[in-house]
C-alpha cells in the first residue's frame, strides 16, 4: 500500500516523498479508517485526501467552505490530469445536473461541494446512488463554535454521512490547533475513532519580524518593502476597511501594483480583485481579515500586518499564507499602542452584539483578553519569535518544546537588548494595587512620577504611598504597564474610560522570582543588503539562486509560466510552483526524464509543458 501511495504521489503530483504525517493519513483512509489531520497552513493537507481518492474506487466528496477555494483546487487537480469537478450555486441547474450525471458515470475521482448542497434534494438522491469512496471535510474547524470561522451548515455533515447507504471513511483537516476545537470536530462530525495526526506547527521557511512603528512610518516601510520586492507577491493585512482604502491608495500612488479586498466592496469587485491577485496581475493584495481563507496561492512571498491582530491564532493563520511552496518567505508585523487600543475596543464591541447573558459575555471577553495579551506579548518579547509562537501552540498538544533561538527572526538576528525593568514594574504593581483599579494608565503614570496636574490633585492622589516614587518618562511607564498587561499581571478593562487593574497573575509579580524585561532594538540587522531582489521585478526566490545565470533563467521561466497560465486561464502557480521553477534552474534538465525528476513535475505536466520548458532551459 505504501508503495502504491508513493507511486501515486510521484506520478500524479510529481513529488518525491511524503512530508511528515501525510503517509499516516493516507494509509488510514485507504485502510478504511476515519482520520483527522491537524497541520499548519502550507503543510500539504490536500495531498492527504487526494492520493487516497486516486487509490480508492469511486468518487471522493470534498466539503469545502468557499466557492473560490473549490474553483482553484479543481483547477490545480485538472492541471495534473486528475479528473475532478465542483458543484455549487455558480453553476446553472443544467450544469449541475451534468456534473452529477458524469460523477455517477464514474468520470471524476474528486467532487468538491459546499455544505449548502445538502439543501438540494437532487444532490441527496445523487449521493444515495453514487459510489462515494470518502467524505473529506476541509477547514474542519468551521464545524466548531470555538473556531474562528464557524459555519452552521457544517453541522449537517454528520447527518449527510449517516444518510449514505454505505458509510465511507470520514477525513477531517484543519490548521486550527486547540484541543477544544479538535474534540468538537470529532464529536460533531460523528467520527469513529479517527487516526489523529498532529504535526509540528513550525514553518522553517518563514522568517518572522516584529517592529514597533508609528502609523506614518508603517506606511513608508510597507511602500519601500513592496517596491524593493516588486517581483514578489505579497499580502498586507489592515484591521479596518478605512485603512485598507488609505494604504491601497498610497501604495498605488507610490507605484506598487496593488489591489484591495474588504467586505465593503461589491461582490463583483471582490471577485475581480482576488483574481488579479491570484493571477499575479496585481501581485500585492491590501485587505482586511475577510481575505484569505479561500486562497491557496502558493507563491505568496510575504505577509505584512499593518496592524496587530487580536490573537496569535489569527496572526499565525494569516501570516502562514506566505510561503506555502516551502520557499523562503517573510512575515512582518508592524504595531504600535493604538493597535492595542483598537483590539480592546473590538473585544468590547463584539460581545455587545451577541445574544449572551452577562456572565457568558464576560467569559467570552476574558478569553479574548487572554488571547490579546498573548498577541501583545509576542510584539514585546525579546525572545525568539518562532519559539514564542511554537510555545503558544504546542504546549496544548504535548509536543517537544521548540528550540530557543531560530536564527531566522528579527529577535534572533537584530541587535535586541533586553532591559531589566523589574523594579519599575514592581512600583507600578504597587501603585495599581493602591489605587484599586479605579484609574487609567495616564493617572497611574502621573501618580508614580509625582505629577502635580489637576486630576491628580483633584482625586487627592498626592497623598498616595506610591506618589512620586519613580523617575521615568510617562511613555516608559505606560509601555511597562502594557508589558505587564501582556504578561497578565495587570488587566485593562475597556469601558468608556479604560481602567488598569490587577490581572490573573498579579500575585506572581510580588514573588522574588519575578523579572520583567523590555525590548530595545539597538540596530536592525538589515537582512537583505541590496542584492538581486532590489532590481525591479526580480523575485526573491530567484535571489536565493547561486549564479547569475540561474537567476536569469528563473525569471525567463517565470515569464513563460505567466504566458501559459494566461493562455489557459489558470493562475501561474497552478502551472508550476516557484519551488518547481527553482528546481529546474538548479537541475538544468536536458531530457524529459531529467525534467520529470524535478519536484513538482508529474507525468501530465511533463506531457503538457515539458517541451516548451525544456526548450527555454536549453536555450
Give the interface with ligand ADP as residue ranges (CB under 6 A).
Answer: 15, 18-19, 22, 39, 41-47, 296, 298, 324-325, 577, 599
What phi and psi values does residue 163 have, to the nearest 5 degrees?
A: -80, -10
Q: How far is the CB of 455 from ligand ADP (least distance, A)?
A: 52
Considering CB distances under 5 to 8 angstroms, the limit depending on partner class, which of ligand ADP, Mg ion, none binds residue 446? none
DSSP 576-615: --HHHHHHHHHH---SHHHHHTSTT--HHHHHHHHHHHHH
Q: How far is the CB of 295 from ligand ADP (least distance, A)?
A: 10
Count of CB atoms situated within 10 Å of the CB of 360: 12
Nearer Cβ to Mg ion (109/297): 297
Nearer Cβ to Mg ion (103/175): 175
C-alpha span between 564 and 578 (Å, rounded): 15
Can you read off the three cell numbers belonging to residue 239?
484591521
Nearer Cβ to Mg ion (45/605): 45
Binding mask 254-293 for Mg ion (x = CB under 5 A): ----------------------------------------
Considering CB distances under 5 to 8 angstroms, the limit depending on partner class, which of ligand ADP, Mg ion, none binds residue 199? none
- Beta strand segments in 378-460, E: 415-420
Considering CB distances under 5 to 8 angstroms, the limit depending on partner class, which of Mg ion, ligand ADP, none binds residue 195? none
Nearer Cβ to ligand ADP (169/294): 294
Considering CB distances under 5 to 8 angstroms, the limit depending on partner class, which of Mg ion, ligand ADP, none binds residue 466? none
49 and 60 Cβ atoms separated by less than 8 Å: yes
Considering CB distances under 5 to 8 angstroms, the limit depending on partner class, which of Mg ion, ligand ADP, none binds residue 43? ligand ADP
C-alpha span between 412 and 13 (Å, rounded): 36
Angle at 259 between CA 226 and CA 150, to 5 degrees: 105
- The residue among 299, 48, 326, 31 whose CA lies nearest residue 172 is 48
Q: How far is the CB of 171 from Mg ion (least distance, A)?
A: 13
Q: How far is the CB of 23 from ligand ADP (least distance, A)?
A: 9
Nearer Cβ to ligand ADP (15/335): 15
542 and 554 Cβ atoms separated by less than 8 Å: yes
Nearer Cβ to Mg ion (45/365): 45
Nearer Cβ to Mg ion (149/350): 149
Q: How far is the CB of 46 from Mg ion (least distance, A)?
A: 5
Nearer Cβ to ligand ADP (175/435): 175
Considering CB distances under 5 to 8 angstroms, the limit depending on partner class, which of ligand ADP, Mg ion, none binds residue 19? ligand ADP
Considering CB distances under 5 to 8 angstroms, the limit depending on partner class, which of Mg ion, ligand ADP, none binds residue 410? none
Q: How far is the CB of 580 from ligand ADP (least distance, A)?
A: 9
Q: How far is CA 590 from CA 272, 560, 593, 618, in A?
A: 39, 17, 8, 7
Centroid of chain to Cα 254: 27
Query: According to CB under 5 A, which residues from 34 to 93 bind Mg ion?
Result: 45
84 and 111 Cβ atoms separated by less than 8 Å: yes
Considering CB distances under 5 to 8 angstroms, the limit depending on partner class, which of ligand ADP, Mg ion, none binds residue 44? ligand ADP
3-state percent breakdown (helix, strand, coil) of the chain, nearest 5: 50, 15, 35
Q: How far is the CB of 69 from Mg ion (least distance, A)?
A: 8
Considering CB distances under 5 to 8 angstroms, the limit depending on partner class, which of Mg ion, ligand ADP, none binds residue 391? none
- Sequence-distant (6+) residues with CB within 8 A of 512 are none
Residues β-bridged to residue 286: 236, 260
Q: How far is the CB of 138 from Mg ion (least distance, A)?
A: 6
Q: How far is the CB of 582 from ligand ADP (least distance, A)?
A: 13
C-alpha span between 129 and 166 (Å, rounded): 10
- Sequence-distant (6+) residues with CB within 8 A of 253 are none
- Pure H helices in 262-303: 267-278
Nearer Cβ to Mg ion (64/259): 64
- The residue among 8, 50, 4, 6 whose CA lies nearest residue 29 is 50
- Indicate the residue whose CB is closest to ligand ADP: 44
Give residues in contact with Mg ion (CB under 5 A).
45
Amino acid at each position: 500500500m505504501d508503495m502504491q501511495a508513493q507511486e501515486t504521489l510521484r506520478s500524479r503530483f510529481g513529488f518525491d516523498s511524503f512530508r511528515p504525517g501525510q503517509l499516516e493519513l493516507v494509509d488510514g483512509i485507504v485502510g478504511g479508517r476515519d482520520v483527522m489531520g491537524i497541520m499548519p497552513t502550507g503543510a500539504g493537507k490536500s495531498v492527504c485526501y487526494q492520493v487516497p481518492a486516486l487509490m480508492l474506487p469511486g468518487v471522493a466528496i470534498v466539503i469545502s467552505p468557499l466557492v473560490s477555494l473549490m474553483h482553484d483546487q479543481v483547477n490545480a487537480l485538472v492541471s495534473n490530469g486528475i479528473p475532478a469537478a465542483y458543484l455549487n450555486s455558480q453553476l446553472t441547474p443544467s450544469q449541475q445536473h451534468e456534473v452529477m450525471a458524469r460523477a455517477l458515470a464514474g468520470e471524476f475521482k474528486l467532487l468538491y461541494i459546499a455544505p449548502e448542497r445538502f439543501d438540494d434534494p437532487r444532490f441527496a438522491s445523487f449521493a444515495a446512488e453514487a459510489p462515494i469512496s470518502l467524505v473529506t471535510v476541509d477547514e474542519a474547524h468551521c464545524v466548531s463554535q470555538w473556531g474562528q470561522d464557524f459555519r452552521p451548515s457544517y453541522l449537517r455533515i454528520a447527518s449527510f454521512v449517516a444518510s449514505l447507504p454505505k458509510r465511507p471513511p470520514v477525513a477531517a483537516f484543519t490548521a486550527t490547533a486547540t484541543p477544544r476545537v479538535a474534540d468538537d470536530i470529532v464529536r460533531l462530525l460523528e467520527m469513529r475513532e479517527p487516526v489523529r495526526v498532529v504535526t509540528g506547527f513550525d514553518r522553517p521557511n518563514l522568517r518572522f519580524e516584529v517592529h514597533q512603528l508609528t502609523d506614518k512610518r508603517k506606511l513608508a516601510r510597507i511602500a519601500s518593502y513592496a517596491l524593493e520586492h516588486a517581483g514578489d507577491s505579497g499580502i498586507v493585512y489592515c484591521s479596518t476597511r478605512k485603512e485598507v482604502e488609505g494604504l491601497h491608495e498610497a501604495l498605488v500612488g507610490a507605484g506598487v501594483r496593488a489591489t484591495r479586498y474588504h467586505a465593503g466592496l461589491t461582490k463583483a469587485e471582490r471577485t475581480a480583485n482576488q483574481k488579479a491577485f491570484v493571477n499575479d496581475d496585481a501581485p500585492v493584495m491590501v485587505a482586511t481579515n475577510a481575505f484569505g481563507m479561500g486562497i491557496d496561492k502558493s507563491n505568496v512571498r510575504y505577509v505584512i500586518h499593518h496592524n496587530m491582530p487580536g490573537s496569535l491564532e489569527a496572526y499565525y493563520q494569516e501570516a502562514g499564507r506566505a510561503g506555502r511552496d516551502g520557499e523562503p518567505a517573510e512575515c512582518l508585523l508592524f504595531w504600535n499602542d493604538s493597535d492595542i487600543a483598537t483590539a480592546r475596543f473590538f473585544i468590547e464591541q463584539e460581545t455587545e452584539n451577541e445574544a449572551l447573558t452577562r456572565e457568558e459575555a464576560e467569559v467570552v471577553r476574558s478569553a479574548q483578553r487572554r488571547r490579546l495579551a498573548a498577541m501583545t506579548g509576542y510584539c514585546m518579547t525579546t525572545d525568539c519569535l518562532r519559539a514564542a509562537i511554537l510555545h503558544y501552540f504546542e504546549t496544548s498538544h504535548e509536543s517537544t518544546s521548540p528550540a530557543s533561538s531560530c536564527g531566522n527572526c528579527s529577535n534572533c538576528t537584530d541587535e535586541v537588548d533586553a532591559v531589566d525593568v523589574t523594579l519599575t514594574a514592581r512600583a507600578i504593581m504597587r501603585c495599581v494595587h493602591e489605587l484599586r483599579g479605579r484609574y487609567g494608565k495616564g493617572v497611574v503614570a502621573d501618580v508614580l512620577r509625582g505629577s502635580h496636574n489637576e486630576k491628580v490633585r483633584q482625586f487627592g492622589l498626592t497623598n498616595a504611598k506610591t506618589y512620586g516614587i519613580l523617575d521615568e518618562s510617562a511613555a516608559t511607564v505606560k509601555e511597562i504597564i502594557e508589558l505587564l498587561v501582556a504578561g497578565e499581571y495587570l488587566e485593562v478593562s475597556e469601558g468608556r474610560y479604560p481602567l488598569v487593574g490587577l490581572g490573573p497573575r498579579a500575585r506572581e509579580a510580588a514573588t522574588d522570582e519575578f523579572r520583567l524585561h523590555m525590548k530595545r532594538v539597538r540596530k536592525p540587522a538589515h537582512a537583505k543588503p541590496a542584492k538581486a531582489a532590489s532590481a525591479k521585478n526580480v523575485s526573491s526566490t530567484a535571489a536565493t539562486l547561486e549564479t547569475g545565470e540561474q537567476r536569469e533563467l528563473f525569471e525567463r521561466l517565470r515569464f513563460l509560466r505567466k504566458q501559459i497560465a494566461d493562455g489557459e486561464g489558470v493562475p501561474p502557480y497552478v502551472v508550476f510552483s516557484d519551488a518547481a521553477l527553482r528546481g529546474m534552474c538548479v537541475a538544468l534538465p536536458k531530457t524529459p526524464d531529467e525534467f520529470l525528476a524535478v519536484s513538482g513535475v508529474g507525468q501530465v505536466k511533463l506531457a503538457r509543458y515539458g517541451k516548451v520548458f525544456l526548450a527555454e532551459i536549453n536555450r
